[in-house]
Amino acid sequence: MMDDKQDHERLKTELWGLSFKNPVMPASGSFASGREYGEYLDLNCLGAVITKGVAPIPWRGNPAPRVAETYGGMLNSVGLQNSGLEVFKREDLPFLEDYDTRVGVNVVGKSVEEYVEVVKGLRGHAVDFFEVNISCPNVKEGGVAFGVDPDMANLVTEKVKKVADKPVIMKLSPNVTDIVAIGKACEEGGADGLSLINTLMGMKIDIKTGKPLLGNVFGGLSGPAIKPVALRMVYQLYPHVKIPIIGIGGIRTWQDALEFIMAGASGVQVGTANFQNPRVMIEIIEGLDSYLKEENIGSIREITGISHQSVNR
């Protein structure tokens, strides 16, 4: 493995009272807990590791086929399969404790009580922050995602914050008519930050059979195809909240990451691109640092949200 250890002073970032080496981290679900990527990059060099979704009990996930390639990206219908909280604490957390990087645990649930159970179960453990995925279906309310209703998003945030001993970041769904309303509802509920966007809903047809290709019919669209939508939502939300935003969606180059930062993101997550290039995050970190050096910019913080300054309001 190449030596990735370099001091990128310009990229140091402060979020939620925590210091990060840089603003680059993997998106949940694309990186597991980092173990499989260890032969390709040094996890110590990332701003943080965001784990796969963790539920109170094991989730089996959706029926196969679960993944389909599409133009400009991919569809996945994995269904947040995971081994549950106890296995995560026993196997994944000890592995991550060996690394000098921030750890964010992605939390999933099918009810408000399940979100609360995971966060309570991780109190006192080596976790730096929680990322709460409110794109999950609310089983008690007919399967509608928590993140499409401001009142429900506010409620989940409020309940989780009451039991959390670390900062709480709410991960927003793009499958809404007003991302600002959802983001503000989470902020009012006590969220320390927001990450957006999760995947867009999509599907693919098998033209040989005439049937949906994915076993669950619909899946989440990720990859370069969703970047313009994600960038728009980050830009749109930034002026309306006071808490930090983490930008996600189609980031595969340092230029992509820079756009999100200029739109208002204090950090970025890289997802689908990791499947194509396991070292993509290291390349993004290096590219961002070179850009700041060439432009004589002392800190990445100086250009966060800069695109808003040139717009007449």
CB 31 within 8 Å of CB 85: no
Rounded distance between C-alpha atoms, residue 175 and residue 242, angstroms: 23
Query: Residues with Cβ < 8 Å from 38, sequence gap 6 or more?
Result: none
Rounded distance between C-alpha atoms, residue 148 and residue 154, angstroms: 11
Q: How far is CA 215 from the centre of its chain?
A: 25
- Helix (H/G/I), strand (E/B), else coil: 121: helix
Amino acid identity, position 258: L
CB 191 within 8 Å of CB 184: no
**What's the chain's length in residues?**
313
CB 5 within 8 Å of CB 42: yes
Rounded distance between C-alpha atoms, residue 218 and residue 137, angstroms: 13
Comparing CA positions, the residue from 145, 269, 259 lying closest to residue 200 is: 145
Residues identified as active-site: 136
- Helix (H/G/I), strand (E/B), else coil: 67: strand
CB 52 within 8 Å of CB 27: no
